[in-house]
Each structure stands twice: as C-alpha cells, then as structure tokens.
Copies of this chain bind each other. A is one copy, B any other.
C-alpha cells in the first residue's frame, strides 16, 4: 500500500447541510470541493453507493450530481464516473500570464489523520541538498543522457546494499528496476502478468481499491483471500481457481497492521512454487517497526517467485516519485519492455541524490529519527485512546504509520461524519474492505504519521473529541 490517492478523500464523508435533502447534499458537496476536501479529479461514489450510505433515495443523489455537473462543479463522463471538475476550485476566467502562486491556497482540513502519508514537514531538506551536491559532483557526463531503462546504476547499487542489509532482500543491482511509485510498478507488473496469460491476481480482503482497479484495468480479476489475526490466509490460495499471482503486504498488512505469520509466509511461497505463480510483495513501510526486530522481506525466501516492491514515499516523501522493484531474473527484460524503454525513467538528479543519500548513511539516520518520532506518536495515541475510549481495541500498532481503532458496531459512519464537522480528516476501516470480503468490524484507520509535529497534538485532541 503506497501512493494512495484513495486515502486522500475519494470516499465521501458527507451529510446534507440544512433542510431539503437534495439541496442540502449539493451544499455539502460544494463545500467539500471549495474547502479542498474533495480535490479536482476525485471520483465520487456512485449515486447508488452514496444513497445507501446516507440512507436516502438514489434519485436524490443522482439529481444532485446532475445539477452540480450543470453548474460545473462536477464532470460526468461515460465509463469514468462522476468526478470533481478540474479547476472547480478556481472559477472565473483564466488570464494569460496570471501567476497561480497568487491564487488563494486551497483550504485543507484543520487536522489530517488520513493514512498513507509520512510527516511531510520532516523531509530532510538540508541532508537531501548535501547529497545532491555530492551526487552532481561525482556523476559522469553520460549520466545526464538517455540511460538504462532500469534506472541509474548508482541508485540500483545503493538499493541492493541497503535492501540486503535492512530488509533481507536478495537484491542484485542487475535485477532492480526503478519506477516512479508503487502504482507505476504495479501497472508494469499488471502488463507483464497479462502477457503471461495470467487472468486472476489474488488480493488481500483489506487493501486499497486503487490497486485492485489498476489490476482490473490490466485485464486481471482480483479475487480476495481473507485477512485474519495472522495476516492473509495464504493457504487459501490453492483453493481459488486460476490464480496466477497474489499481491501481499507481508511486513505490515494494510490497513489492519498484522504482520504475515511465518506459516503463512511459507504457505505463500509453497503455493507460488507448486503453481508457478508469482507473489507481489508490497513492502510499503517495512522500515518502521517499533517493538520488535524487523521482519525480513518475504522475497528472501524465493527471489525467483517474489517481486519485491519498495518505495521512498513513506520513508522520505511521496513527492520524490521513486520506488523500486527487485525482480526474478527472468522478468527483468520484460518489465523494461513494459516500461517502454528509458522514457519513463525518473529524473537523474533525483535518482543520483537518493543513491548518495542511501550510500552515505543519511537514509538510515533519517529512518531512525522518524522511527523515534512515529513511535512516540504511536505511544501517545495508544495512551490517549486508553484514557478516552478504554473499551476500544487499538491494533496494528507494532509498525507503520497508522493504527486501527475498533468502534462499536454501527458507529463508523457517524464517527467519521462527526470528525468531518470538526475539520478532522480520517478514514473508516470499511473503506478498505474488498467487495467480496466477509462483513467486518467497524473501525477507524488513523494515520498518525501524517500530521506535522506542530499539528500532531491538535489532531490527537480532535480525534478524542469525536469518539463516541
């Protein structure tokens, strides 16, 4: 789980404002767009889904959508659903030469506990700049030309060392391919799987729909296997007919936070070996573990059957758009072909800088510092919840940047709505449930890594205020 736009508001915590269901709903949607809670391009839930969520007639929602399309707030396009219009937040004529920086900054929620982002205020600008200086000084001229579609060799070499050391990955630089985010890597793998005639890729019963949708766009169906207290039930893989690959989050299941049990790891690898299937290992925040030794990557068990996928989006910042795949040797060439040659590669200065950042030890230092920061927040969260909501179980707290808070049955929606009213953005657990999954508990997914240091205390207070 990485790179989730889903985590930034694709679900709709909305409640009609004032009297009149339709006009109230329209007001609420306008307000959500105006304040930036719904950003341009965001796809809205279908009218059927939203109507069910709100317990109102579907026609009411459909009418509200249609009027907002007419007003230019939303767009509706066959096959692409209803979306927030681009520039819905910037109405009025656009003048030539207008400086967009003069534009009023879009309002964001006062408190942000959405999962999926690290603390952006902690991006190590000074260290990054130092690494840029060293990297630009050392780079050969040819580095600035067209290059290996796998990415710069300096970065692949630095990652190979780091991943072997820190994550137990069997990582030869020759089998590493740099991509511009996990979603880019998953798209490439979708293409390659389809070329191998794979039609079904199993996914976990909790996860990110953007990933499932991506696989679906590649022509793959995504049956789910259940997640329980030991992680995904990988033993069930053999029972799902026709599955050629499985997408797993072994280090820290997203969003439930469970690490995959050793027996389940073994079962996954056994399945892959016996069926010829492929495991896609999404190691999105494997660096952040608090109470125990880090669990090594699954990939080490069988580098020819596991595609390891890591990213700088959680450890440093999503804006770097740098992620990496460690591939079975036989897939390297195919993935490069799917990538379309060097033209999709990431910018060389950023690649060289990350290489230097890792090789110099700055990456380890940064991860260590952030681990302390996030662990402290995790402890404060657990403490505050124990005091404020002593009956509610908090789980998934051994690692990562988010936790799951179980809620009394039937309260999920109202808590999230109360949060919205308080200007607190967070995500309900059901948001991440696969459509074929068994019904599950109510809960919140709390991204305690997201706020800045100065915003953290306020966000935690706001959270405590909205709990039932």
List 8 interface pairs A-B (beta carbons < 8 Å), by A numbering: A5-B341, A41-B149, A117-B146, A120-B145, A144-B318, A180-B345, A347-B350, A349-B350
**Is B343 a contact partner of A320 (Cβ separation < 8 A)?**
no
- Given the interface pairs A146-B117, A172-B94, A343-B180, the reply to whether A133 lies near B129 with Cβ below 8 Å is yes
**Is A164 a contact partner of B97 (Cβ separation < 8 A)?**
yes
Q: Which of A119-145 contact B (CB under 8 A)?
A: 120-121, 123, 125, 128-129, 132-133, 136-137, 139, 141-145
Task: List the 4 closest pairs (A to B, CB-CB), nearest first.
Answer: A319-B348, A144-B317, A347-B350, A144-B319
**Is B333 a contact partner of A75 (Cβ separation < 8 A)?**
yes
Q: Which of A299-334 contact B (CB under 8 A)?
A: 317-322, 329, 332-333
Q: Which residue of B lies closest to A98 (CB)?
A: B172
Q: Which of A170-197 contact B (CB under 8 A)?
A: 170-175, 180-181, 183-184, 187
- Given the interface pairs A174-B90, A174-B94, the reply to whether A345 lies near B333 with Cβ below 8 Å is no
**Is B345 a contact partner of A353 (Cβ separation < 8 A)?**
no
Q: Which residue of B lies closest to A182 (CB)?
A: B343
Chain A residues in the interface with B (C-beta under 8 A): 3, 5, 8, 41, 75, 80, 85-87, 90, 94-101, 117, 120-121, 123, 125, 128-129, 132-133, 136-137, 139, 141-147, 149, 153-154, 156-157, 160-161, 164, 170-175, 180-181, 183-184, 187, 317-322, 329, 332-333, 336-337, 340-350, 353, 452
**CA gap between A181 and B342 in the complex, in Å:** 10
Query: 10 other contacts beyond A128-B136, A180-B346, with CB at 8 A cut-off?
Result: A5-B146, A75-B333, A96-B171, A97-B172, A117-B146, A125-B139, A181-B344, A187-B340, A320-B348, A350-B350
The residue from B145, B175, B344 contacting A317, defined by CB atoms under 8 A apart: B145
**Is B128 a contact partner of A141 (Cβ separation < 8 A)?**
no
**CA gap between A180 and B147 in the complex, in Å:** 13
**CA gap between A100 and B156 in the complex, in Å:** 9
**Is B97 a contact partner of A318 (Cβ separation < 8 A)?**
no
On chain B, the residues within 8 Å of A332 by CB distance are 86
**Is B347 a contact partner of A319 (Cβ separation < 8 A)?**
yes
**Is A322 a contact partner of B347 (Cβ separation < 8 A)?**
yes
**Is A153 a contact partner of B346 (Cβ separation < 8 A)?**
no
> Within the complex, what minimum Cβ distance (angstroms) separates A35 from chain B?
15
On chain B, the residues within 8 Å of A121 by CB distance are 141
- Given the interface pairs A320-B348, A336-B86, A346-B347, the reply to whether A146 lies near B8 with Cβ below 8 Å is yes
**Is A343 a contact partner of B183 (Cβ separation < 8 A)?**
yes
The residue from B87, B146, B153 contacting A174, defined by CB atoms under 8 A apart: B87
The residue from B156, B180, B348 contacting A344, defined by CB atoms under 8 A apart: B180
> Within the complex, what minimum Cβ distance (angstroms) separates A24 from chain B?
28
Q: Which residue of B lies closest to A187 (CB)?
A: B340
**Is B333 a contact partner of A132 (Cβ separation < 8 A)?**
no
Q: Which residue of B lies closest to A164 (CB)?
A: B97
On chain B, the residues within 8 Å of A141 by CB distance are 120-121, 123, 452
On chain B, the residues within 8 Å of A183 by CB distance are 340-341, 343
The residue from B123, B139, B164, B340 contacting A144, defined by CB atoms under 8 A apart: B123
